[in-house]
Amino acid sequence: MNDCIFCKIANKEIPSEIVYEDDLVIAFKDLSPTAPHHILVIPKQHISSANDLTEDNAEVVSHIFLTVAKLAKKFGFAQNGYRVVNNCGKDGGQTVQHLHFHLLGGREFGWPAG
């Protein structure tokens, strides 16, 4: 999508701190981190939100979770634990309309979500 900031990051049209990339996904550091480790993992293909997952494109989500687990190990917080968040739509607090999963680690997180 032309005006999508995460598509631009995936296409290297705007810079980001990329920590992992393969054919299907890219992971980069969040611009405004809310934890010592705050990484965004996104499909390279534009999918606007979890509401737009279908039988044809949903396989990437399992790949994203495998990537999440790899990154948690790579950055050394897999053992202590971490939080994976997908915000969907207005009530979910989604601000960028390209499916993304927040990988948060390096501190304890409260529950229930605010």
Of the candidates 12, 16, 65, 77, the one whose C-alpha atom is nearest the C-alpha of residue 41 is: 65
Residues in the chain: 114
Q: Is residue 30 part of the contact set for ligand 5GP (CB under 6 A)?
A: yes
Among 94, 99, 103, 105, binds ligand 5GP (CB under 6 A): 94
87: partner contacted, choices Zn ion, ligand 5GP, none (Cβ within 5-8 A by kind): ligand 5GP
Signed CA dihedral, 24, 86, 19, 70: sign only? negative
Residue 1 binding: pick among Zn ion, ligand 5GP, none (C-beta 5-8 Å cut-off by kind): Zn ion
Q: What tokens appear for 68 in the block?
A: 């999440």
Query: What are the backbone angles phi and psi of residue 13, rounded to the nearest 5°?
Result: -80, -25
Instruction: Residue 98: name its binding partner from Zn ion, ligand 5GP, none (Cβ under 5 to 8 Å by kind).
Output: Zn ion
Nearer to ligand 5GP, 78 or 96 (CB): 96
CA distance 17 to 15: 7
Interface with ligand 5GP includes 81 (CB under 6 A)? Answer: no
Residues classed as catalytic: 100
